[in-house]
């Protein structure tokens, strides 16, 4: 009885036939390009499978790129916010420096004679005693500051130095009740003494008779008498002229030009060079040379 399926060649024979067929196909393809058209069709058939196999990698790469881009954008946004904050802080400081620079320009541009030695000082402390109007500045004897030295700002007379240390000095403001400054009225040269009232926005003129020609709005300048303050610097403006029945003197109030409650920078003045007549000619004194 014959089997339904006949037994074929053995496995080694089939392997040998497959190897021979493969070699033949390789030689035919490499030498004669016999399967170019077949390979095109095969590549077309396989390409969808290749795309499907490659799609997970593409999705992962895209997700990773988007994640990195989002993180980079967040980091960039944070850096920009920090830089914006710093720039705003710089802008505030620049505005402050601009205002400070303008105050210094105004101070140096005050009506000071240009042949007079001068120095800018900054207020370090303010006396906390409500009955004493004094401030401490950052200049002392090492910078040549001396007691009685006149002190101004860009608006007018501020006060005078009353004590000097090595690196600091104490300034008595013109509104202190113990301070007085000789003044003259710019309109008619009437002379008087402007004394402190104990209030930062007020001075008083004492012993002015009722018939003296002083009016509200008159400008008072330093008269230069007593040799303490140079002549011609603004002191204040008359804000009130009052008369009380039975009183021989007028009640005259003066508002200082210098805003003493907001002053920060001050200007120290030195005496102008003085000359004396000698037989040999004009010679500077030792005091002026110092």
Q: What is the pLDDT of residues 155-211, one digit of tens each?
A: 899 999 999 999 999 999 999 999 999 999 999 999 999 999 999 999 999 999 988
Instruction: Give 101-154 pLDDT, tens digit per residue.
Output: 777 777 776 665 555 788 999 999 998 788 889 999 999 999 999 999 999 988
Instruction: Give this prediction's pTM.
Output: 0.63
Confidence check: pLDDT of 256 > 90? yes
Confidence check: pLDDT of 59 > 90? no
Annotate 137-165 with b (16+ C-beta within 10 A) or e (fewer). bebbeeeebeeebbbbbbbbbbbbbbebe
Top pLDDT among 71 and 212 is at 212
Confidence check: pLDDT of 7 > 70? no
Q: What is the pLDDT of residue 38?
A: 65
Cβ atoms 234, 82 nearer than 8 A: no
Cβ atoms 115, 272 nearer than 8 A: yes
Over range 226-247, report the average pLDDT: 89
The pair phi, psi for residue 239, each rounded to 5°, is -105, -20
Q: What is the pLDDT of residue 175?
A: 96
The pair phi, psi for residue 127, each rounded to 5°, is -65, 130
Could you list the beta-strand ranges (E) of the chain: 118-126, 134-137, 150-152, 157-164, 169-173, 180-185, 191-196, 203-205, 219-222, 234-242, 251-256, 265-269, 275-278, 281-284
Top pLDDT among 95 and 249 is at 249
Cβ atoms 210, 250 nearer than 8 A: yes
Query: CB neighbours (10 Å) of residue 288?
Result: 15
Q: What is the pLDDT of residue 199?
A: 93
Q: Which two tokens stand for residue 223?
A: 């008269």
Confidence check: pLDDT of 12 > 90? no
């Amino acid at each position: 009885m014959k089997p339904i399926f006949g037994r074929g060649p053995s496995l080694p024979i089939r392997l040998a036939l497959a190897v021979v067929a493969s070699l033949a196909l390789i030689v035919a393809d490499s030498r004669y390009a016999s399967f170019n058209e077949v390979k095109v069709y095969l590549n077309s058939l396989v390409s969808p499978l290749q795309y499907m196999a490659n799609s997970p990698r593409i999705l992962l790469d895209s997700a990773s790129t988007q994640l990195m881009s989002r993180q980079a954008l967040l980091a960039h946004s944070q850096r920009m916010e920090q830089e914006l904050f710093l720039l705003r802080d710089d802008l505030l400081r620049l505005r402050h420096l601009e205002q400070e620079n303008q105050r210094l320009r105004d101070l140096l541009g005050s009506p000071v004679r240009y042949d007079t030695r001068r120095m800018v000082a900054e207020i370090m402390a303010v006396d906390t005693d409500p009955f004493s109007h004094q401030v401490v500045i950052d200049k002392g004897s090492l910078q040549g500051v001396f007691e009685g030295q006149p002190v101004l700002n860009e608006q007018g007379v501020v006060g005078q130095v009353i004590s000097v240390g090595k690196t600091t000095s104490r300034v008595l403001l013109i509104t202190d009740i113990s301070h007085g400054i000789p003044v003259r009225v710019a309109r008619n040269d009437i002379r008087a003494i402007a004394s402190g009232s104990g209030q930062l926005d007020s001075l008083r003129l004492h012993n002015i008779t009722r018939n003296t020609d002083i009016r509200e709005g008159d400008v008072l300048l330093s008269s230069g008498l007593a040799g303490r303050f140079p002549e011609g610097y603004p002191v204040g403006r008359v804000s009130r002229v009052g008369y009380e029945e039975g009183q021989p003197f007028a009640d005259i109030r003066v508002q200082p030009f210098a805003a003493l409650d907001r002053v920060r920078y001050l200007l120290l003045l030195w005496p102008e060079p003085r000359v004396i007549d000698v037989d040999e000619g004009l010679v500077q004194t030792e005091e002026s040379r110092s």
